[in-house]
Amino acid sequence: MSGPSQPKTVDEDWSDERVKTFLALQPVDETNPDYHVLSKAYQYMVAFDFARFVTFFVEEGRDINATDLEGKTILDLVSQHGNSAAYAESLIKAGAQKSS
């Protein structure tokens, strides 16, 4: 499986407010809202901003181990990608686990 389809923007600084806007995203299907925002943040943020997002996410009391429709966690997804070590590290520090 390949990584996110859209390239991450690496040449601009994201404010805390911009990072936090991802917390309000809503899925268009039955996907768990917590999994949805984590996956969108992973797709669109560089690792540094993703780590900040995970902190805000956890502070809101959201579920870092929420699953997609197939029962996979965000750490399952991130772990499939070759250049995702910094993302996985942020998730693990926040208590994320793989589903299996």
Q: Is 85 part of a structural domain of the chain?
A: yes
The single residue listed with the structure tokens 């299907």 is 29
Number of folded domains that form the chain: 1
**Domain assignment of residue 28, given as a range:** 17-93
Q: Is 8 part of a structural domain of the chain?
A: no
Q: Is 31 part of a structural domain of the chain?
A: yes
How many other C-beta atoms lie within 10 A of the C-beta of residue 35?
A: 22
Q: Is 2 part of a structural domain of the chain?
A: no
Confidence of residue 32 (pLDDT cuts 50, 70, 90): very high
Q: Is 11 part of a structural domain of the chain?
A: no
Q: What is the mean pLDDT of residues 2-8?
A: 49
Confidence of residue 2 (pLDDT cuts 50, 70, 90): very low
Q: Is 50 part of a structural domain of the chain?
A: yes
φ/ψ of residue 6, rounded to 5: -100, 135
Q: Is 27 part of a structural domain of the chain?
A: yes
Q: What is the per-residue pLDDT for 12?
A: 75
Both tokens of 32, joined, read 């768990």
Q: What is the per-residue pLDDT for 100?
A: 77
Q: What is the DSSP letter of 32?
A: -
Q: Is 5 part of a structural domain of the chain?
A: no
The C-alpha angle with vertex 56 and arms to 50 and 58, in degrees rounded to 5, equals 100
